[in-house]
Structures are given as structure tokens and as C-alpha cells.
Structure 1
Amino acid sequence: MSEPASISTSIAGRYATAVYEIAKDANVVKALEADLDALRDALADSADFRALIHSPIYSREEQGAAIAALAAKMKLSDTVANTLALMAQNRRLFVLPQLVSTLREIIATEKGEVTADVTSAKALTKTQSDKLTKSLKASTGKTVTLNTTVDESLIGGLIVKVGSRMIDTSIRAKLNSLQNVMKEVG
């Protein structure tokens, strides 16, 4: 059973704030960013890792030992390794994905950056990415990092999410809109 999203987000937020403050005070935010990249990749690539953090069958001790071994193998900073050990001890590893994304948001905000989630029907070329980044920077007034994914079901166009704003120029959305208009007319 997973916890309700709001509880996970709240727990992750508390850990993220503490980790960021510790990293900032120790002047190791760059190392923290590298650790976040490594954890994001591990979460994306390893079903075993995802099972370890979510499965209730592992005891605190088993999770703690596994996390300590992983942290050493991944060469994570002491700050992150200690946080993961504490999370394992408190049975809070299930919030790790939210912790990673919350820490990324905190760091980006501190740097005056914003991340735009971009979904396109085909992978964007370097030129397209550069133009989109430039356009989003002009509209937000902040440095923009693109987080791109491909969804061929869009047929064409883009879906861009920046904060709470979403722009959907996909052909799929236009076809759905047209279909709704046709239902009303018919």
C-alpha cells in the first residue's frame, strides 16, 4: 500500500529542506546535484531499487544495509548517504522519488531556474530545443531547463508545462477538441 500523495510530499518536503540546508551550509550543493542525478538514474533503471524502497517485506535493518551498500557503490556524499540511512531507519524510503524531485525544485529556485516539462511526438532537435528554451526564458524571465519526453500518440506538436501553466499544441488535443465540437453540432 502506498501512502497518500500529500503525506509523501509533506515528508519529502521536510527531508528535502533539511538536506538542502545542510548541503548549502557545507557548500556542497554541486555534489548534492550529482547525487540527485545518480539517484534519479537508479530509480529509473533499477526495478530492484524501486522494490527495495517501496516493498514492506524488507525490515528496517535490511533496507538500511542495502541503502548503505548502494550509497557506497554509487559514491554518494555523506549528507545524502546519511539521509538515506535515516529514511531507512524511519521507514520513509518510499518518499525517495518525491525527495529527489523536491530537492531539484529547491536547487532550481535558489539558482533562479525553472524546469519545463516538454512532451513531443518526436525527439526535439538541438535547434528546436534551443529555440524553445529561448522562448520560455523570454516569457518566464528565468533560466529554463527542458525535461523532454517523447509520446508518439501526440501525432505532432508539443505539450509544455512550466509550473502550473500548460500549453498543449498537440495534434491529438486539436483532434479531441474538434471531436467535441462535432458532438455538440451533431
Structure 2
Amino acid sequence: MALFELAAEHGTVTAVESDLETLEAALRESADLRQVTTNPELSRKAQGAAIEGVASVLGLSQLTQKFLAVLAQNRRLSALPDMIRAFQTIAAAQRGEVTAEVTSAHALSDEQLATLKDKLTAREGRTVKLKPSVDPDLLGGLVVTIGSQRIDGSIRTRLNSLANAMKG
């Protein structure tokens, strides 16, 4: 990924990664920002101006601002969430880390997250960074996704398995 290569070249991988995490949170929280990045009716100029304003308010680095300007110019802002994830994956791999997406029915306490992180780190043999989320539909338990591996210990899955076993 070109952004990662440029950030590595300038020694700003950590700063750019922090910028992208800030931007990811802003995208998650702001329907207006999501609209700006995905609305095909907005002109390149309007998208560029809007994203430049957002980048300025968020205090993003020059490299990140230039990257966003190029995306706006080429009408690729809609792919921003995927690009953020790709950058994070590459940066984590460089540091010898792996990200585990942890979905639970209820928010996990700091102690539970620390215990889970320790167990996953021991299992994976490298540092694990947790990305927790909540999905009440799970009913209970956890779903942990690391790369292409998925560990599904949710009550919903167990109930579905039981229902399927009773049918057949």
C-alpha cells in the first residue's frame, strides 16, 4: 500500500496510523461524514473541500491530508474504511502484531479484555491487539476473529447448532 510505504519512508507510520484510527472513529460516529465519502452526487471539488475541512478539524498529519485529497480527487473516498483496515493490518504485521476482532453480547470489562488478550497472545505466539465490539444478538459468549480464523463461542451459534441437530 502506497500510504504505508510513504509513511515508513518518512518515519511517520505511528502518526499516520493514529490519524487513520481517528478518522475511522469519526466515520463510525458521523452519518454526515459517511455521506460525504459515499455520495456519488457530490463533485470532486465538494468532496475534497469537505474532507480537507474534516482533516483540519481532526488535526491530521500532512501526509494523511494529502492521501485524503488524492482519494477525493480520484473519487475513492468510499473505499476509505477498507484502506484504513489494510493500513492497520500492514502496520501491525510490521510490528509483529495481530488484531483480534472480539464481538460479545455485552461490553467486556478491562479485566476481561486483559485476560482475553493474554490468552490470545499465548495462543498466537505474538502480540494481539483487541478490537472489541458489542452485538446483543449473540445472547452471550464471544466471537473472536483473527485474520481468517474465527472462534465462535456465542450462545446464538450453540442454539442454532442444537436446533439443526434436532431437525435432522
Corresponding residue of 2:159: 175
Distance in 2 of aligned mates of 1:151 and 1:89: 36
Corresponding residue of 1:110: 94
Distance in 2 of aligned mates of 1:90 and 1:50: 17
- Where do residues 134-149 of structure 1 align in structure 2 (5 Å cutoff)? 134-149=118-133
Q: Deviation at 1:152? A: 2.0
Secondary structure of the residue aligned to 2:50 is: helix
Distance in 2 of aligned mates of 1:120 and 1:93: 30
Q: Deviation at 1:143? A: 0.4
Secondary structure of the residue aligned to 2:42 is: coil
- List structure 1 runs of 4+ shifted beyond 2 angstroms: none
Count of residue pairs brought into register by the alignment: 168
Q: Deviation at 1:155? A: 1.9
Distance in 1 of aligned mates of 2:73 and 2:137: 43
Letter in 2 for 1:59: S
Secondary structure of the residue aligned to 1:181 is: helix
Letter in 1 for 2:68: L
1:43 corresponds, among 27, 52, 55, to 27
Superposed CA offset, 1:85-120 (max 9, x none):
111111111111111111111111111111111111
Superposed CA offset, 1:116-155 (max 9, x none):
1111122112222111111111111110011111222222
Corresponding residue of 2:37: 53
Superposed CA offset, 1:43-86 (max 9, x none):
01111111111101111111111122222221111111011111
The reply on whether 1:70 has 2:54 as its aligned counterpart is yes
Distance in 1 of aligned mates of 2:82 and 2:154: 28
Distance in 1 of aligned mates of 2:102 and 2:122: 17
Letter in 2 for 1:183: K
Distance in 1 of aligned mates of 2:26 and 2:136: 25
Q: Any unmatched runs of 5+ in structure 2?
A: none
Distance in 1 of aligned mates of 2:86 and 2:126: 19
Distance in 2 of aligned mates of 1:45 and 1:119: 19
**TM-score under structure 1 normalisation?**
0.87
The share of aligned pairs that are identical, in percent, is: 46
Corresponding residue of 1:9: none
Letter in 2 for 1:85: A
Secondary structure of the residue aligned to 1:103 is: helix
Corresponding residue of 2:82: 98
The reply on whether 1:119 has 2:103 as its aligned counterpart is yes
2:63 corresponds, among 61, 79, 101, to 79
